[in-house]
Amino acid sequence: MRKLILLATLALAAAVMPSALASASPAPAAAPATVEAAPTAAQLLAKTSSCKQISNGKYKTDEDVSSKTVAICDANGAVFWKADMDIDCDGQRTSQCNENTDCCYQDDTAFHQSDGKPLNAAKLPYIVVPSSSSIWKYSSSGLKGGGSCAVIYNGKVEYAVIGDTGPTQIIGEASYATAKDLGINPDPSNGGTDSGVTYICFKNSTVSPIENHSNAVSKGQSLATTFVNNN
């Protein structure tokens, strides 16, 4: 009888042990969280295929052209326009940007670094917005110095900041560094491109400090994702 009881006990223990071991085993490691990829140029451009014009009229792309062809378009969370790209080399004096390389060089920018110095056009990707006028006041659209923008050209996306202001009647200008990163000739005397550039600037955004391009990229990618999802 004792032998039968012992055998029964051993059998019961054998049946219980696997489930006990299973419950005691550590849970499998959770799969790492996936990071959502930033929108492609095509995804961003798809959201700018039509224009809800908010500018009071249109801008010229250059001083020497007569036609005004560029409108400011409103979207959910951003404004955008499609224009050319002239090269802005203003700000800190560098080997790329100075009085000798740029006939119109100025040693200042509308918005400054956190240390008070002008921006460095050769190093920092930034764009130029038209100074406020009866056509459009950029501040009325929630834009300001250091604001986050996506610049799209030839299938590439560059995340930049609003770094300078330009003439009241002209639009389509960005820093030496912006052009270079997009594969556009950045030479202030003969560079730039006549068309094909889309500028998307996100409302009520700020990159801080303005001169930190890594922050501009991470901020811009996040806002661009929201822009694609909400338009």
Closest CA to 225 of 200, 192, 207: 200
Closest CA to 47 of 228, 203, 221, 225: 228
Instruction: Give, for 22, the enclosing helix (H) or strand (E).
Output: helix 2-24
CB 192 within 8 A of CB 179: yes
pLDDT tens readout for residues 91-148: 999 999 999 999 999 999 999 999 999 999 999 999 999 999 999 999 999 999 999 9
pLDDT of residue 37: 86
pLDDT of residue 36: 66
Q: How many H-runs (helices) and E-runs (strands) does the chain carry? A: 4, 8
pLDDT tens readout for residues 78-88: 999 999 999 99
Q: Which residues of the chain have pLDDT under 70?
A: 1-36
pTM: 0.85
